[in-house]
Amino acid sequence: MSSSSFLYTRRRITNLVALSLSMVATLIGLIFLAWILWETLRQGIGALNLNLFTKITAYGEEGGLLNAMVGSLIIDFIGIAVATPIGVMAGTWLAEYANRTSLGQSIRFLNDILLSAPSIVLGLFVYTIVVLPTTTLTSGNTTFSGLAGGIALALIALPVIVRTTDEMLRLVPSTLREAALSLGIPQWKLTLQILVRAARSGIITGVLLALARISGETAPLLFTAFGNNYMTFNPMDKMSSLPQVIYQYANDPGEAMHAIAWAGAFVVTMFVLLLSLASRLVLSRNKVSHD
Amino acid sequence: MQANVGVAASTMAQEARAHRDARHDRLFSWLLKGCALLVLACLLGAAGATLWGGRHAFSTFGWHFLVSDAWDPSTDTYGALVPVYGTIATSLIALLIAVPVSFGIALYLSEVAPPWLRTPVASAIELLAGIPSIIYGMWGLFIFAPFFADHIKPWLTNYLGGKPDDGKLSWVAQHVPFVGKLFGSDYPFGASVLTAGIVLAVMIIPFISSVMREVFQTVPSRLKESAYALGSSTWEVSWDIVLPYTRSAVIGGIFLGLGRALGETMAVTFVLGNAMQLSPSLLDPGASIASTIANQFSEAAGLQKSTLMALAFLLFVVTFIVLLIARLMLRQLAHKEGR
């Protein structure tokens, strides 16, 4: 009797310790989240001023981030503009045409791998296929460009969009397809005018998530868009972006540069968090309207 | 007569239309298929481009490339050992920290926490995954590395390391092999292999814990209830029922985190110190494949550029294999569920 009550106590204590440790683990996660967000807010808001939005990086400590913000918007826009049509079409093919085929299954599988592939290698890939050939064409001047940066980001956004499109289309009830096909509608019309519409808010969510993902990307931009010190709207020119300027300024020894980098980090974080919030809202609104 | 012509004309029009629709359908499906194949092309292209770019390095150094710790731009000799070691060391440290913490989070959120708390806490943890890596880098460089240097590192060097400040070796450093070397360092700053590992751990915790939480929820409740009915405690149900049932997917989730950690660039570049040296100490700065590329590629030329491409190829192949294993493991559970 005493040995069994000893065993019982031991089991209860093990249980208690393990469950308390699980709570500690959750607290650790939350503490790091709070720590990172708090410091980004504190340092970022402390460094915010009007110069950031009105001056370009050429002035250094006295300057701002205007050209980097404009560059980021242009590069992100190119990335999304390239990745969205390709991603939506590829996702549609996976869901509607190749759902059960072996080629479709393998591409879906490889797309999931591309989703977490190292972005720096994708950057080197774009460097090889975009920057190097144009460099050869222009007789040796290395032609880093905002366009190359946008294409690199498109490769990162692509698998996100493919995956959400694929998943959202597979959620569309098949009675919708059958009803349309029984009326004699060709499949392309069914896909474009009925299925994509039914899954529209899901697809928009995917695009927003992809935008959130690429707007903080730095590594592939270092050797595709490269960065500059002046204002440019020309995508064929070198272009700076917020993450790239943050990286550059954070490695600078000057304290004033660090402050600007923190302000940039704050802007990027807010942008990304608002985007993920927006994507959730789009999805939840869709759920309500369908029920 | 008249009616016949009308019928014939409308049949012809119908046939023409059917033909046109069939043609459009074919074109449309080809277009979609082409886009899907682009995904394949991206993967193959990334591997091919880096292999092609690294061909000079591979042919110059041969297999010796993988085991050489040389990195000297003045004599143009390069080896992959230092960055490869840095990549593996930081990722393993990250896993050592992230796996138990993620398991704890998943356990808490699926078995322990009151239901009203689960969704908000889970979303908060997932928010960690949404923070861009450059922010982790900034936080690591300006906040965490100094904190580490002031509070954690002195403790580690004095109580575990082989080179304590007061010269007196601790009991652990004297009696446990390797520990003295791992935590001995003369380097005064916070950037180190261990710092990078910790920052990486924070980055991959949300990935691993969300996979674990998801698969824990797929465990049929009658299995758990049977165990509870036999008198099991919550911990026993989690350890003996939930974990074995979801083992393959949990391993898949861990590999997914490993894949992320291996390829992570910005956060690591900020806190690793970027020293092309091989040091046994985890408190010394080092270099990873991704940080070396990020630091040196823009200024590199010739053989050095080719070496960096070769490193990128190695990284890509290793990450690909790790992620492949991860996805295969995760798929096993999906099959089990009959999905």
What pLDDT, in 10s, does the model give residues B250-302?
Answer: 999 999 999 999 999 999 999 998 888 888 888 889 999 999 999 999 888 88
* Residues near A239 by beta carbon (within 8 Å), at least 6 away in sequence: A71, A74, A75, A145, A146, A149, A225, A226, A227, A228, A232
For position B339, what pLDDT does the model report?
A: 44
The answer to whether the beta carbons of residues B48 and A125 sit under 8 Å apart is no
Of A39, A125, A186, which has the smallest distance from its Cβ to B143's Cβ?
A39
Q: Do A219 and B266 touch (CB under 8 A)?
A: yes
Interface of A with B in 202-261 (CB under 8 A): 212, 215-219, 222-223, 226, 243, 246-247, 250, 258, 261
Give residue A139's Cα distance to chain centre: 35
Residues of B in contact with A159 (CB under 8 A): 39
Decide if A74 touches B, using CB distance below 8 A: no
What are the DSSP E strand ranges found in B4-157?
71-72, 77-78
Note whether B129 and B102 are within 8 A (CB): no
B190 phi/psi in degrees, rounded to 5: -85, -20
**What pLDDT does residue A290 have?**
42
pLDDT of residue A286: 59
pLDDT value of residue A291: 36
Taking the Cβ of residue A120 and every Cβ of chain B, the question of whether any pair is shorter than 8 Å is answered with yes
Nearest-Cα residue of chain A relative to residue B207: A116
Integer Cα distance of A227 and A251 in angstroms: 15
CA distance A155 to B52: 19
Identity of the residue in A11, A124, A243 whose CB atom sits nearest the CB atom of B50 = A124
pLDDT at position A288, please? 42
Neighbour count for residue B339 (Cβ, 10 Å): 8
Low-confidence stretches of chain A (pLDDT < 50) are: 288-291
Nearest-angstrom CA–CA distance, A133 and A140: 10
Q: Measured between CA atoms, how close is A289 to chain B, in angstroms?
A: 22
What residues 7-36 of chain A have any CB closer than 8 A to a CB of chain B? 11-12, 14-15, 18-19, 21-26, 28-30, 32-33, 35-36
Given CA atoms A274, A275, A279, A285 in this order, what sign does their dihedral have?
A: positive
Percent above pLDDT 90 for chain B: 62
Q: For position B5, what pLDDT does the model report?
A: 67
pLDDT score for B188? 78
Distance, in Å, from the CA atom of A89 to the CA atom of B32, rounded to the nearest integer, reads: 5
Residue B278's nearest CA partner among B86, B48, B18, B128 is B86
Main-chain dihedrals φ then ψ at residue B176, nearest 5 degrees: -100, 125
| Minimal CA separation from B310 to chain A, in Å | 11
- From A12, A26, A124, residue closest to B233, measured CB to CB: A12
CA geometry: angle A151, A155, A159, nearest 5 deg: 150
Query: Using CA of residue A153, residue A158, residue A163, residue A164, what is the dihedral sign?
Result: positive
With an 8 Å Cβ cutoff, are A29 and B101 in contact?
yes
How many Å apart are CA A266 and CA A272, to the nearest integer? 10
State the best of B105, B135, B264, B297 to mutate against chain A, taking most chain A CBs within 10 Å: B135
Contact A116 B42 (CB under 8 A): no
Backbone angles phi, psi at B286, to 5 degrees: -150, -160
- Indicate if the pLDDT at residue B190 is higher than 90: no
Contacts of B150 (CB under 8 A, 6+ apart): B190
Cβ within 8 Å, pair A86-B35: yes
Q: How far apart are CA A268 and CA B93, in angstroms?
A: 28
From B139, B143, B312, residue closest to A120, measured CB to CB: B312
| Confidence label for B187 from pLDDT (cuts 50, 70 and 90) | confident
Contact residues on chain A for B259, CB-CB shorter than 8 A: 116
> How many residue contacts between A and B have a Cβ separation below 8 Å?
262
Does any CB of chain B come closer than 8 Å to the CB of residue A262?
yes
Share of chain B above pLDDT 70, in %: 95
pLDDT on residue A167:
92
- Determine, for residues B124 and A262 on separate chains, whether the beta-carbon distance falls below 8 Å: no
Nearest partner of B264 among B102, B147, B135, judged by Cα: B135
- Count of alpha carbons within 13 Å of A209, Cβ hemisphere only? 24
What is d(CA B185, CA B239) in angstroms, rounded to the nearest whole number?
A: 39
Angle at A111 between CA A109 and CA A115, to 5 degrees: 120
A46 vs B: CB within 8 A: no
End-to-end CA distance of chain B: 59
The 10s digit of each residue's pLDDT in A137-157 is 877 677 889 999 999 999 999
What the block records as the tokens of A263 is 């302000």
pLDDT score, position B265 = 92
CB contact under 8 A, B263 and A111: no
Matching residue, tokens 């004033």: A256
Q: Burial of B204 by CB count in 10 Å (0-12 exposed, 13-18 middle, 19+ buried)?
A: buried
Burial profile A72-111: b = 16 or more Cβ within 10 angstroms, e = fewer:
bebbbebbbebbbebbbbbbbbbbbbbeeeeebeebbebb
Q: Is B42 exposed, middle or buried (0-12, 13-18, 19+ CB in 10 A)?
A: buried
Do the Cβ atoms of B191 and B285 come closer than 8 Å? yes
